[in-house]
Structure formats: structure tokens, C-alpha cells
Amino acid sequence: MKITSGLMNICATIIAFTFSLKVFAISPADIKKGEYLARVGDCVSCHTAPHGKDFAGGLPMLTPVGAIYTTNITPDPETGIGKYTESEFAKALRRGVAKDGHHLYPAMPYPSYAKVSDTDIHYLYVYFKHGVKPVRQANKASEIPWPLNYRFPLAIWNAVFLDKDTYKPDPKKDANWNRGAYLVQGLGHCGACHTPRGLAFQEKGLTQESGKFLSGETLEGWSATNLRGDHNTGLGRWSESDIVVYLKSGANQHSSSFGTMTTVINNSTEGMTLQDLTGISSYLKTIKGSDDKGQKPYKYDATATLAQFKAPEKYPGAKLYQQYCAACHSQNGQGVAPYLSPLAGNPAVMDPDPSSLINVILNGSPQLKPQGVAAPFNMPKFRHILNDIEVAQLVTFMQKSWNHNLEATDTKDVAKIRKMPPSAH
């Protein structure tokens, strides 16, 4: 009995010593790598509620069948992921399956994270286990009604739509391009917002091989713009340098960030390395455009637009623009880039879907804070100043001005976005 007891004590000592070595082996450098990867993945933007604690969850996300709430991913053992093993963490990230076996909704971009390498998964796990402060905050139940809230059909969804392969470098491309492709398709999960979704909420393309990949989509009242090479509505007129500047600062000579993209800039891309941003821009510039949504290549012409300002009684949209917009964006629509966004030729303005224009006029935009410093100018909200008819007139003016020649915006489109909950603002 004494021998057995002694052996047990020795075994316990060895286990404890091995565990202590494992903890000791977690270096600050590994935590730092994981922290950077979490920034690339913009985890904090989705997993932090307004005025909430970092990574504690609770942010509402609108879906076609009801709102869901992001979860607590701090290392709290009771309400967070504190009891997750690394393999369980990887399974949640790549397969959308939580520790207890329930399936996550694909609003969590695990189809993109499936491409993330084992090494990066490890660093992320180390960071969230040892670099994030635990927060005791219970997760909120979704608002999806019965019986749509049953999760077992998600296993079928995964079988049909989930590509489980990690990213495989293209040997025909250089390391810079492959790094960009890995970040855009994987951890950056750009397609989760910028790729159209099908009836089953699946992304219609996961790589540049699909003509739908990154071609633009409308989510929560915002039109996530086309990131392909289309001349008018995409990045066709942007250089690689333009893309890098935009991702680093939130503005360039063509456009400024607004809406939810502003939080992506503030919490993610502005803190990425120049090498990674260059890789992203290199990759994006190789994705060919489609048909530019039926538009002819844009050429700037303000002649007809400037003439409207001379007869404001005939053109209510021009009058409203003169009152509320021209001071910043100029009558010629060219603004003062990059501080005051140009509207003429802006891909967001030339998007046939006016959702973003309507939303940003009604609700303004979050403050850009590149490198932690607030941008000098910010888009204010006009929802309490302009009624639906006036917003529709103003949007229509911008869609038709400076040789844009798009369709008019309906008042019903404005009313729909005005009624959306604050999470869509």
C-alpha cells in the first residue's frame, strides 16, 4: 500500500511538473502573435457590445429570421471559453461546433476560418486563454422564433456548404499574393460581408474562382461594397497604394469608410502590418470585375449638376444638397480628400443599391480613429432633420449627379431603413 501510494504521489508530481512546464512554455511572444491575429480577424468588433467589455459578447446581429447575439469569448470558465481545450477551440472556429456540441449559426464566419492554419489557430488559442481578461457575463439567447431556432439542421448546412480545407498556397503566385489571399479568404473573412448570400444564407463564393466572391452584399441596412475590379462600383480605379491607404487610415482619394466598415478600420486593419496590407491589396487587384452591374465606365462630368444649383426651386434634391452637404463635399462632388470624402465617382455612391447612402444620411457614421487619433471630420446624422421624402430626394440627387445616372430612390426604401433597430446604425 505504501509503495502504491508513493507511486501515485510521484505520478501526481510529474503531472503537475509537466503542466507547469506547459504553462511556462507560453511565452509573451506567443500571446503577442495571437493578439495580432485576433486584430486581423477583428474579433473584438463583433464580440463586444456597445459600452460593453472586450470580447464579452452581447452584440445583436440581425438575420432574416431574427436577431442573434455574439457570445462571450473571454477565458471565463463559466460563461466564456475558459474550459475549452485547443482542439475544442479549433472545432468552434473552423467547424462552427461549440464545446457542448451545439452548432453555431453561420453568421459566425467559420466557413472563412476553416482556411486558417494550425499554427495561427494555436496562437489565437494562447491569446484568448492567457492574454484576455476573463469576464463573467452570460450569453444571451437568440430571438429566432420556434421552430426555426432548432440547430440540428446546421449539421446538414455544414455538410452541404462548409469547405473544411485550410488555405493552400497557389504555386503560380508569389508569397505576397498568397499572404493576401490567405488573409482575405480566411482570418479577415472579407467575404462574410462582401459576398452575396444564397437562400440558405451561404456565401455564393469563397475564393476568386467564383464570379460572386466579394461582389457586394447588403447586410443590416448597409451595402458592403464590391471589392472586385469593376470600374465603377468596385476597385477598378484604385491602385494597390489606394487600398493600403484606405485600410490603414479609413480614407483615400476615392472614398472614406462609413458604417460598420469604420469599426473594421478602427479595430483591425489600421493596426495591421504594411506587409500584410500590401499582400491584401496585391490579391484584391488581381480579382477581375464582372459587368459593373450594367453601367458604362464612369467619366466625371459636373456640367448638368452645377446647372441645377442655379434653379433650386425646380430641383429639391439639389437644394437639400446645397443646404446640408455642399459645405463638406462641395458642389462639384469632389470633397477635400481624404478628409472630406468625394462623392463623385465614389463606388459607394455608384452602387445601384442605395442602402448605405440612406443609412449614413439618417444615422451618420462612427468616428474614424486611425492610430487612436480621432479624424477631424465626422459624418453627422440627419434622421431628426430630414423626413423620408427629403432623404429620398437627396439620395436621388447624388445618384444622378456628376454623370452617375442611376435610378431614383424610393421613399419606401428610406422608411424601411429608418425603422431598423439601432444595431443597424
Is 361 strand, coil or helix?
helix
Q: How many whole angstroms separate alpha carbon 278 and alpha carbon 275?
A: 5
The pLDDT score that the predictor gives to residue 148 is: 83
The pLDDT score that the predictor gives to residue 376 is: 82
| Strand ranges, E, within 250-312 | none
Is 69 strand, coil or helix?
strand
Say how many CA atoms lie within 13 Å of 61 toward its Cβ: 19
Residue with cell 486593419: 269
Do 66 and 142 form a contact (C-beta atoms < 8 A)? yes
Cα 173–chain centre separation = 26
User: Which pairing describes strands 217-219 and 222-224: parallel, antiparallel, or unpaired?
Assistant: antiparallel
How many Cβ atoms are within 10 Å of 375's Cβ, its own excluded?
18
Do 290 and 231 form a contact (C-beta atoms < 8 A)? no
Buried b (16+ CB within 10 A) or exposed e, 55-84: bbbbbbbbbeeeebbbbbbbbbeebbbeeb
Q: How many whole angstroms separate alpha carbon 243 and alpha carbon 78?
A: 42
Cα 227-230-233 angle, rounded to 5 deg: 70
The pLDDT score that the predictor gives to residue 290 is: 80
Question: Along the 425 residues of the chain, how does pLDDT read in single tens digits?
Answer: 444 455 455 555 554 444 444 444 789 999 999 999 999 999 999 999 999 999 999 999 988 888 999 999 999 999 999 999 999 999 999 999 999 999 999 999 999 999 999 999 999 999 999 999 999 999 999 998 988 888 989 999 999 999 999 999 999 999 999 999 999 999 999 999 999 999 999 999 999 999 999 999 998 889 999 999 999 999 999 999 999 999 999 999 999 999 899 999 999 999 999 999 999 999 999 999 986 566 788 999 999 999 999 998 899 999 999 999 999 999 999 999 988 999 999 999 999 999 999 999 999 999 998 888 888 888 999 999 999 999 999 999 999 999 999 999 999 999 999 998 875 55
The pLDDT score that the predictor gives to residue 224 is: 95
The pLDDT score that the predictor gives to residue 22 is: 46
The pLDDT score that the predictor gives to residue 312 is: 87
Q: Which of 141, 142, 134 is nearest to 80 (CA)?
A: 134
Cell numbers linked to 403: 454623370
